[in-house]
């Protein structure tokens, strides 16, 4: 990938940036010139590997242990990132829990945990980011293709949580537009990661649900996020974008 330097001089925080879409997005933003902070929970070594890869690109990076399920840690990650990097221009709300299963199996603890990460944590991190961002700021939230089309049973809790991202994005766009800050949502289709491996038991059915008949890659999601983070997307806000191989078509 050739860098066009669209994010030179900018800083970004990617939640859940130790693996999968978050890690690849952190690297993609760094390739465009951004200094990057990533959060993680369990993957300290993996997060530090992302830091080293960003540094190898000549950018600054920091890995922060911050559990999005913890209200203080979710909001605090923003201040820690801004302090480490000097400012915060781009927030990518990527961290999420992907619990699937029959409706009757979802316990109250499951509901509370998933909503704490996928909804409350996203809200609190966005709120904290809005407080420190200046004009040109970007809030990009990773939703899911299941907000556009639920292909089968087992997704009630996850789909509900990811649909909250849409309301948040539209409302943030209205709230922050006057300050020159944009908010957008990106809905990945089936993407080959630990959360949804392309060789998993449900993978063939998921691939068949897309128009392209295949899983996507984290890089294909990251490239859309990088576009939305850059100056060419300055007039794009309150919008949803599918990068789903035609899952919603």
* Interface residues toward ligand NAP, by CB under 6 A: 15-22, 39-43, 67-69, 94-98, 117, 142, 144-145, 188, 190-191, 193-196
**Min. distance of Cβ 52 from ligand NAP in angstroms?**
16
> Which residue has tokens 């829990």?
97
If you count them, how many residues does the chain have?
249
Distance, in Å, from the CA atom of 67 to the CA atom of 78, rounded to the nearest integer, reads 12
> Strands, DSSP E only, in 66-191?
90-93, 138-142, 182-188
In this structure, which long-range contacts are made by residues 156-164, counting pairs with CB atoms below 8 Å and at least 24 apart in sequence? 156/103, 156/106, 157/99, 157/106, 157/110, 157/111, 157/114, 158/98, 158/99, 158/100, 158/114, 158/118, 161/96, 161/114, 161/115, 161/118, 161/119, 162/96, 162/118, 162/187, 164/118, 164/119, 164/122
For tokens 């128009």, name the residue: 211
| Shorter beta-carbon distance to ligand NAP: residue 104 or 194 | 194
Pick the closer one to ligand NAP by CB: 45 or 232: 45
Of 61 and 69, which has the nearer Cβ to ligand NAP?
69
Tell me the closest approach of the beta carbon of residue 221 to ligand NAP, in angstroms.
Answer: 7
Active-site positions? 158
Closest CB to ligand NAP among residues 41, 111 = 41
CB of 180 to ligand NAP, least distance (A): 26
């Amino acid at each position: 990938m050739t860098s066009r330097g669209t994010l030179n001089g900018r800083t970004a925080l990617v939640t859940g940036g130790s693996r999968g879409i978050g890690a690849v997005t952190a690297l993609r933003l760094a390739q465009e010139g951004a200094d990057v902070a990533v959060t993680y929970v369990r993957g300290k070594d993996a997060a530090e590997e992302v830091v080293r890869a960003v540094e190898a690109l000549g950018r600054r990076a920091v890995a922060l242990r911050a559990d999005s399920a913890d209200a203080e840690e979710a909001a605090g990650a923003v201040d820690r990132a801004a302090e480490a990097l000097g400012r915060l221009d781009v927030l990518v709300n990527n961290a999420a829990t992907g619990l699937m299963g029959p409706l009757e199996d979802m316990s109250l603890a499951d509901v509370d945990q998933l909503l704490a990460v996928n909804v409350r944590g996203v809200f609190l991190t966005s709120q904290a980011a809005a407080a420190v961002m200046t004009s040109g700021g970007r809030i990009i939230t990773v939703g899911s293709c299941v907000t556009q089309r639920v292909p089968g049973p087992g997704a009630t809790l996850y789909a509900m949580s990811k649909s909250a991202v849409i309301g948040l994005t539209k409302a943030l766009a209205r709230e922050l537009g006057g300050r020159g800050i944009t908010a957008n949502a990106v809905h990945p289709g089936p993407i080959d990661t630990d959360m949804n491996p392309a060789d998993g038991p449900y993978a063939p059915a998921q691939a068949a649900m897309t128009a392209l008949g295949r899983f996507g890659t984290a890089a294909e999601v990251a490239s859309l996020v990088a576009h939305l983070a850059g100056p060419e997307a300055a007039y794009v806000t309150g919008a949803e974008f599918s990068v789903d191989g035609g899952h919603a078509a």
